[in-house]
Amino acid sequence: MSFINYASREINCKIVYYGPGLCGKTTNLQYIYNKTANDAKGKMISLATETERTLFFDFLPLALGEIRGFKTRFHLYTVPGQVFYDASRKLILKGVDGVVFVADSQEARLDANIESLENLKDNLAEQGFNIEKIPFVIQYNKRDLPDLTSVDELSKLLNERKVPELEASAMTGEGVFETLKAAAKLVLNDLKKGG
């Protein structure tokens, strides 16, 4: 749910990175944080455990620039991926404008991806959203590692809706900004329609 502020001429949108545990959601945000100019980003907040697993969420505010005289800000959030944090995951989806599903391309994580996507569907529905309609992008992450599922197969299993899909390696940064751009585009186009 975007926030259009005519008083400060700002528009704020919320994008949530979703996906199974250790798929690279936090790494996506860290890369964006590291590669963004200081004046375009706020502080990155990570509510994580001592072993650096996301406990509640990561948060990164980004200012992208102006459109038609309105400052465009995106608030990026990640959810905790581990299965047992489902109650927290639901909360982060409140008021979301767009979702990036980060899939772990490693063969061994195929089932985890499918399970997480089902979980996303359920949790979005619980917040009153339809996964068939919400701005949605899929990132096939970790393409630099061995023992991968092919993109064709991942696409067949995870991308029924045929939304934009991108290959990435969040550790090296490949595909990270492309993913964000694809998601931001869909969110802004949705706003254009008055969504």
Partner 1 sequence: MFGPQSSLVMYDEEYQRILSILEKMLRESNSKVIFLVDKNGQLIAATGETANLDTTSLASLTAGNIAATGGLAKLIGEKEFSILFHEGEKDNIHISIVGGRVILVVIFDQRSSLGLVRLRVKKTSLDLAGVFEDLAKKAMAQIAAAGTASASPFAEITDDDIDNLFN
Identified binder of partner 1 from the candidate list 43, 108, 146, 162, rule CB under 8 A:
43
DSSP conformational letter for 97: S
Site for partner 1 in 107-136 (CB under 8 A): 127-129
Residue 90 CA to residue 183 CA, distance in Å, equals: 20
Nearest distance, CB of residue 84 and partner 1, angstroms: 14
- Residue nearer to partner 1 on the CB measure, 104 or 135: 135
Residue 191 in contact with partner 1, rule: CB under 8 A: yes
From the centroid of its chain, how far is CA 85?
17
Identified binder of partner 1 from the candidate list 82, 88, 151, 155, rule CB under 8 A:
88
Query: What is the total residue count of the chain?
Result: 195
117: closest CA among 18, 22, 187, 16? 18
Residue 156 in contact with partner 1, rule: CB under 8 A: no
Residue 61 in contact with partner 1, rule: CB under 8 A: yes
Identified binder of partner 1 from the candidate list 34, 35, 47, 111, rule CB under 8 A:
47
Residue 42 CA to residue 75 CA, distance in Å, equals: 10
DSSP conformational letter for 106: B
Residue 33 in contact with partner 1, rule: CB under 8 A: no
Helix intervals (H) in 6-59: 25-34
Residue 32 CA to residue 60 CA, distance in Å, equals: 9
Residues in contact with partner 1 by the rule CB under 8 A: 1-8, 11-12, 14, 42-43, 45, 47, 56-57, 59, 61, 64-65, 67-68, 70, 72, 75, 87-88, 90-92, 94-95, 127-129, 177, 181, 184-185, 188-189, 191-195
